[in-house]
Amino acid sequence: MSKTVFITGATSGFGRECALLFAQNGHKVIATGRRLDKLESLKNELKDCQVHTVAFDVSDKNAVFSAIAELPSDYKNIDILINSAGLALGLGHANDALIEDWDIMVDTNIKGLLYVTKAVLPVMVTRKSGYIFNLGSTAGNWPYEGGNVYGATKAFVQQFSRNLRTDLVGTNIRVSNIEPGAAKTEFSDVRFKGDTEKAAKVYEGIEPLVAEDIANLIYTLSMLPEHVNVNTLEVMPTCQTWGGLKVAKES
């Protein structure tokens, strides 16, 4: 049965691959993002599919609620929400990091996810049906140097997902927090602010996850029977594992 899927961050990475996968499998897709040119390119690529695009910044509360309120009638009954929009900026230690970078990560990864979820929830609650996928990260579980605020925002996503799931008991709405590890998307290009050479070094000598891997997982979960809810799914490439404890010794 065809579903209506609302995807944030559909201009690149996990969001874009989710849009491609759902649309090519006959579902209606609402693809959103900040970059209008990227959305138009996606729509052209999916010209034979049912795709509606809307350009806005998830951190702009008024834009989020207006965009969802003004959806065409045949796209209003949202079945699946994929909160994919998010980013990391910088990799400096907390004492060196730019406060402006912290603000942007909080505004996008936390506030943006909250705004979109809050705007979509009434549709799902009224219909007593829906599935919300939040894109978390292994960084929300395990610290690493320079991951300070980015990791904290993803820990928020994890805990919000759990509490959201609890609040929605009895509504038949499912919530899954998807937590990818090292994945080769535009993530590092954004983190290093366009320094593609520095970004490329992150993936040298490894076989990371790719966006299609996460899109396939989300699609598979979305097709499970309605009585099945996967609360959290942490996914790493085989070459990645936990770093273990670190101890600073006196020299």
Catalytic residue ranges: 150
Q: What does the angle CA 158 – CA 161 – CA 164 come to, to the nearest 5 degrees?
A: 150
C-alpha to C-alpha distance for 47 and 194, rounded to whole angstroms: 30
At 92 the three-state DSSP class reads coil
Give which of 184, 61, 57, 81 is closest to 134, Cα–Cα: 81
In the DSSP assignment, the letter for residue 174 is E
Q: What does the angle CA 92 – CA 93 – CA 94 come to, to the nearest 5 degrees?
A: 115
CB < 8 Å & 24+ apart, contacts of 68-71 = 68/6, 68/116, 68/119, 68/120, 69/119, 71/30
C-alpha to C-alpha distance for 151 and 189, rounded to whole angstroms: 18
Q: What does the angle CA 38 – CA 40 – CA 45 come to, to the nearest 5 degrees?
A: 95
Distance of CA 193 to the CA centre of its chain: 19
In the DSSP assignment, the letter for residue 95 is T
